Structure 1
Amino acid sequence: MEIISGKWKVVILWALSEDHKRFGELKRAIPDVSEKVLIQHLRELEADGIVHRESYDVTPMRVEYSLTSHGVALNEALKPLGAWGREHLPIQV
């Protein structure tokens, strides 16, 4: 639970479930999160071995984030929780 604590970590995992993303793509996918919190959560997820950060030596510098095998497994484990939420929680419009 400590690994996914924080308001945005599960949302970040979901955003990375499809493919690797650059920071700007993640920010656009999660518009309500501040840059500071997104950076902090990405660093924590990387330290926990859930997210992989790949830095490319090009100008301008390019960084991409993706899920590690542990991150993919965590996303799979969270799917039943998401299904439960869709079934039992009211839809917000």
Structure 2
Amino acid sequence: MPRYHVTVGILECSISEADLGGIQQDPPGWLITERSRWRSGVRLDLEGRANDPSAAERGARAEVAVWLGRQGIDGDVAVSRTRRELADHDH
């Protein structure tokens, strides 16, 4: 299964940079490679596997929404970018 990099925005999220950095657990099936404050919310760069770009976007959005709820964080999840990682083992 190909690996995808998905950038997710969590809109209207008031979590601080320190609290964001303190969250140690990643959403199931996804690795957070970067996290930062972004506009009125938070930006997460994720890496995970999926069958195609649409499945990657749906999976990332759904898992991040559930993950946020478990952390007690409110916010609307939106995908802003998805790209496939090209690697020798994908051919």
TM-score by length of 1: 0.30
Structure with greater contact order relative to length (CA < 8 Å, sep ≥ 6): 2
Structure with greater helix share of residues:
1
TM-score normalized with structure 2 length: 0.31
Between structure 1 and structure 2, the one with the greater Rg is: 1
